[in-house]
Structure 1
Amino acid sequence: MARKLERSVQELYRDDPERADAVAFGRRGVLKGAALATMGGAVGAAIPFAGSMPGGTLPAIFARPAAAQDTPVLRMEGKGPLILQGERPLNAETPETLLDEPVTSAANMFVRNNGGVPEVPADPRAWKITIDGEVNTPLELTVGELESRFEVVTRQLQLECGGNGRSFYAPQTRGNQWGNGAISNGEWTGVRLRDVLRAAGLKSSAVATGHYGADPHLSGEPGRPSIARGMVIDKAMAEDTLIAFRLNGQPIPHLHGAPARLVTPGWPGSLSQKWLTRVWVRDKPHDGPGMGGTSYRVPVRPIVPGSSNNGADFVDMTSMPVRSILSSHAHGSRLPAGTRSLDLRGAAWAGDQTVRAVHASVDFGATWTEMQVAAPANAHAWQRWTGRVALPSDGYYEVWYRATDSEGRMQPHQAANWNPQGYGGNPISRAAILVG
């Protein structure tokens, strides 16, 4: 007779937090007595702020696995030890502590592919990009011609996967289970897409773009695009939307889209087409692979979590939601006995908006300490933040961190607006810290 498998503690808390408290720790209401001792034994230390832990809260050390020896890691020349999310297509996430650089190095930049990686061209400057469709003069320009014909600009720009934060949704959704690390802030050099579109002469009928790249479809079918997303013409004409050919002063690494790619900052990274070969200007919203249905789209009205939906009343994701990372301390860190303060630092960003404030808490959100937030290097660059929090004793702590954007929108306590493909999940993050 088959043995019935018990649910994991994570599943218990997901399905019925109050019952999970009672089953896992014998807890009902405020954490004290035997329940406190049980939870302290489980996390491996006393819990100084146990009285502030909200009921139905699974300690972060269990809810969010710390880096372990069995965590899949990308091993590739020129890349740091990224978290391997998938091999076909290749996708890898950057741990938050590797995002401690003001400008993200190519080695620490996350990897997001939808198909295969094309062959390296013999002459990158001869790579051709076509601009056609609703234009008066279709263009076919080489990378060399782009650089010589149009103004070259350099900007620090955030590039974020539309599914960043997907792992925070319950029930689980489809796709790579990203934490917060599908983000980068590189220094991109290229030409403004709007300058190229103006040179082609936009017709009055131009309302959107469609983007194509050289990445082969995983099926191997010739000519079949892996992804072909597009954006409204206003975003295509925005100052920071670039056709880029250098990253951090060097040619873009081939894995990241060389010889040329789009960089569409603040919006889902799928609009930043790698290995760019064509920009099709259209008289209607683009309908290529990765458009329509539930692809990079979110509900207008909340739907039942876990339900199926064809996305008929969804809308395209545009500006990405506010989010923050903690880069100074890894989740699961163990610090020496007697540590009585933490000097925290990280980054925050908010799509097309800026970040107004970042706060951190070490008492399960009972009180919050405001951090210092630096101004962005330019529009669409992330903002670095720093600050200090006090610790009253040794024990188990959780650093909770949250950002608020320039419109007053704060990261929620739980991933909101559940959708089948897990876009837009940006809850307050928690990092477990053990002192002593």
Structure 2
Amino acid sequence: MQREKVIIKPYLTTISLDPENQGTPIHFSDDWITPEPLFFLRNHYPYPPITPESFKLTVSGEVEEPGYFNYEQLLQMPSKTIVLPLECSGNKRKEFQPPTFGTQWDDGAISQGVWTGVPLRDLLQFSGLKTSACDIVFEGHDSGKIVGLEGDHPFARSIPIDVALHPDTLIAYALNDKPITYKHGYPLRLIVPKWYAMASVKWLKKITILDEPFDGPYQALDYHYFPYEDSDEDKVPVTTMKVNTIIQQPLPQSSLDPGIHLIYGIAWTGEGIIDKVDISFDKGASWLKTKLRQDQSETYSWTVWSYIWDVNKKGKYTVMVRATDTTGREQPAHVTWNRLGYGYNGISTINLQIV
């Protein structure tokens, strides 16, 4: 009897279940667009219930006409579709030395999607944005306890007015050409290009326009680079993504035969675009250019890089990869430590052996 062919597929990598945090199997996904079942999940709280109120998005504060937009209205408005990766600011947190507290992500807290929605600036202009507007606050339906604080707190973040008015900042209702799934923020999610994903608030409930900076707990107490263990001095807010790479294949600690091997991965940045990706086999003493594959029509998408390695000498090798973007930012050899473990972007490094 002929055996059935067994198809082996990658699955999300569980980081925690309460709340649910799951990583994309980034080393086993060659898709330009991450399939929704493999899109990473980052939550601060349990999933919120979906009620009729979930389909109304209120706008209030420094606007001439406060009110709400319902889901069907948004579907009828002029839309925009963009391709971009979302990266959790804690991606690669496990790389920091000494270790930091927080969700212990490896390198799977990044995924790339096709997002469709209404430009936020259209809603703000329709509502009559006042000249006094300073900060735009986005609150989700999810809420819960925060250690050290009393009561329940919604997940709420703000972005400055110039970012809010960017034509590609979206109130999204579709992911990969289908309605956003429940776990990824259905029915509405904010999408902020080039910023770490904490800005892209899920299960969007209301937008509040302030005439002063927002000081909610996820804005003032969290999502900052704190350079000192026991002091908040010199803290800097987490905003745009740093230039970064992942070596998808080969896997770390792989044993390979002599011969030709394809080394490949992805690179991305929150400023400009990826300009080059270099690779080293001698611990950074010299660097070689990799081949880049970019979609020039997509302003924000990640870049695929690859290198054909012809190796015949047996032994142990250290493979290092670094990216540079068009603003001149380059992955550093030494990453500045921060207390909450955000924004790790050191040179990607794996060890291999040829046997």
TM-score by length of 2: 0.90
Task: Mark the CA change 1:226 to 1:88 in structure 2 (over 3 Å): closer, same or farther.
Answer: farther
Structure 2 matches for 1:8-407, cutoff 5 A? 81-121=11-51, 127-148=55-76, 150-218=77-145, 224-293=152-221, 295-298=222-225, 303=227, 307-310=229-232, 312-335=233-256, 337-338=257-258, 340-376=259-295, 377-407=297-327
Is 1:412 aligned with 2:332? yes
Q: Distance in 1 between matches of 2:353 and 2:24?
A: 23
TM-superposed deviation, 1:115? 0.7
Which is worse superposed, 386-395 or 250-259? 386-395
The answer to whether the 8 A contact 2:143-2:155 is kept is no
The one-letter code of the counterpart of 1:178 is W
Give the distance between the partners of 1:296 and 1:258, measured in 2 at CA.
24
Rounded to whole Å, the distance in 2 between the matches of 1:424 and 1:401 is 17
Distance 2:322 2:247 in 1: 10
Secondary structure of 2:64's match? coil
Does residue 435 (structure 1) correspond to residue 354 (structure 2)? The answer is yes
Query: Structure 1 residues 329 and 375, CA, compared in 2 at 3 Å: closer, same or farther?
Result: same
Distance 1:347 1:283 in 2: 40
1:217·1:225 contact (CA, 8 Å) conserved in 2? yes
For 2:238, the aligned partner's letter is M
1:144-202 deviations in whole A, cap 9, x for unaligned? 11111x21111101211112222222111121122232111101111111111111111
Provide Cα deviations, 1:28-70, integer angstroms capped at 9, x if missing partner. Answer: xxxxxxxxxxxxxxxxxxxxxxxxxxxxxxxxxxxxxxxxxxx
| Alignment RMSD | 2.3
Q: Which residue of 2 aligns with 1:9?
A: none
Amino acid at match of 1:161: C
- The residue matched to 2:172 in structure 1 has which SS? strand
CA distance in 1, matches of 2:135, 2:273: 25
Q: Is the Cα contact below 8 Å between 2:145 and 2:152 reproduced in 1? A: no
Checking the alignment, whether the CA contact within 8 Å between 2:321 and 2:349 is kept in structure 1 is yes
- 1:327 is displaced (CA, Å) by 2.1
Q: How far is 1:99 from its partner?
A: 4.0
Distance 2:255 2:119 in 1: 46
Structure 2 SS opposite 1:175: coil
Shift, 1:330, TM fit: 2.2
Identity %: 36
- String of CA shifts for 1:231-288, please: whole Å, max 9, x gaps: 1111111122111111111111111111110111211211111100111111111112
User: Is the 2:279–2:288 Cα contact (8 Å) retained in structure 1?
Assistant: yes
Which has the greater radius of gyration?
1
Determine helix, strand or coil for the equivalent of 2:271: coil
SS in 2 for 1:230: strand
Structure 2, unmatched stretches of 5+, are: 1-8
Residue 119 of structure 2 aligns to which amino acid in structure 1? R
Q: CA deviation at 1:217?
A: 1.2
Q: Aligned partners of 2:338 and 2:282: how far apart in 1?
A: 31
More strand by share: 2
- 1:222 deviates by 12
Report the residue type matching 2:254 in the other structure: S
Distance 1:427 1:260 in 2: 34
SS at 2:11 equivalent: coil
Read off the aligned partner of 1:398 and give its amino acid letter.
Answer: T
Relative to its length, the structure with more helix (as a share) is 1
Output the amino acid matched with 1:409.
R
- What SS does the corresponding residue of 2:159 show, helix, strand or coil? coil
Distance in 1 (alpha carbons) for counterparts of 2:318 and 2:195: 31
Structure 1 stretches lacking a partner, 5+ long: 1-78
Q: Kindly provide the amino acid, as one letter, of the partner of residue 308 in structure 1.
A: D
Structure 2 distance, partners of 1:171, 1:211, is 34
The 3-state SS of whatever aligns with 1:291 is helix
Q: In the TM superposition, what is the alpha-carbon distance from 1:403 to its structure 2 partner?
A: 0.6
Q: Tell me the SS of whatever aligns to 2:123.
A: helix
